[in-house]
Amino acid sequence: DLGTGEEREVCGLDLGGNISWQLAGCYGRSLVMEGTDYGREISREEMLDDNVWRDLYLNSEEIFAVFDLDSRQLTEKYRMPNRNDSSALAEGNQLYISDEGEGVLKAVDLRDGSERILCRQENDFFRIWYIIGDKLCCKNKDTDATFYYVDIHTGEISHSALVNKSLGWSLEFRAVLDSEVLVIYDCEALPSELNEDAYDILQYKYALISKEDLFSGNANYRPIQMTGNGM
């Protein structure tokens, strides 16, 4: 309770099935849960052995389920094999899935399990990072710092080349307003004396940018006057 500071347990995470659950989202009176199903109980020793765990993980499945707070029932809604490169993001009653094995980015309605394809990924794999308004913010490869924005209604894709002005890193989103987004768009940094591939950040620089400019790649920032290092 943010008003009183009092806490109460909503539900435990031991929901059965030898699956370690974590909270992925919520809507209405339902919690969206995500867990990895290894098919059996995994020992601590197996989890700490990187080679053993990797083999177990590649043969496991990722599960998304809905826990109803009133009925106390957990209902599985979607599962996918972890042998494929994939990413997922829960927002409201929708689960967005990007699956390299299927070659599609799709939306799953967590109320009834229905699926719809937003776009196909025949040559690229989109990893979902955030959602801003009605756009999924995605990257097409781990080394690409730019974002692709996928419309959750039409599947239309737009690309923005905006990156951190000084270092070329990905923009960092800090808050979403009605028509603007607060981002870390620049920084003051010095090369690290300990690692030639790293930097010591002296100050992060924040700015507001309209959603329209962000999605279309126009660097029309409204810089925030910084009074500290922004960390």
Got the DSSP string for 215-231? HHT----EEPPPSS---
Please identify which residue in the block is written with the tokens 């990156």: 163
pLDDT, position 17: 75
pLDDT, position 18: 81
Of the ranges 105-119, 130-144, 177-191, which one carries the lowest mean pLDDT score? 130-144
How far apart are alpha carbons 120 and 103 in whole angstroms? Answer: 6
- Closest-CA residue to 182 (of 217, 208, 220, 218): 208
- Closest-CA residue to 66 (of 42, 86, 92): 92
Phi, psi (degrees; rounded to nearest 5) at 51: -70, -45
Q: Taking 90 as the threshold, does the pLDDT of residue 201 lie above it?
A: no
pLDDT, position 70: 93
Q: Taking 90 as the threshold, does the pLDDT of residue 214 lie above it?
A: yes
pLDDT, position 200: 85
Q: Taking 90 as the threshold, does the pLDDT of residue 13 lie above it?
A: no
Q: Taking 80 as the threshold, does the pLDDT of residue 142 lie above it?
A: no
Beta carbons within 10 angstroms of residue 209's beta carbon: 21
* CA distance to 48, 50, 96, 139, 189, per residue, from 124 (Å): 33, 29, 17, 9, 32
Residue 191's pLDDT band, with cuts at 50, 70 and 90, is confident
Q: Taking 80 as the threshold, does the pLDDT of residue 52 lie above it?
A: yes
The fraction of the chain above a pLDDT of 70, given in percent, is 98
What value does the mean pLDDT take over residues 93-116?
Answer: 92
pLDDT, position 161: 94
Residue 222's pLDDT band, with cuts at 50, 70 and 90, is very high
- Closest-CA residue to 185 (of 214, 228, 155): 214
How far apart are alpha carbons 58 and 67 in whole angstroms? Answer: 26
What are the tens digits of pLDDT across the range 53-68? 999 999 999 999 999 9
What value does the mean pLDDT take over residues 14-42?
Answer: 90
Q: Taking 90 as the threshold, does the pLDDT of residue 227 lie above it?
A: no
Residue 207's pLDDT band, with cuts at 50, 70 and 90, is very high
What DSSP string describes 76-140? EEEEEETTS-EEEEEETTEEEEEETTTTEEEEEETTT--EEEEEE-SS--PEEEEEETTEEEEES
pLDDT, position 219: 96
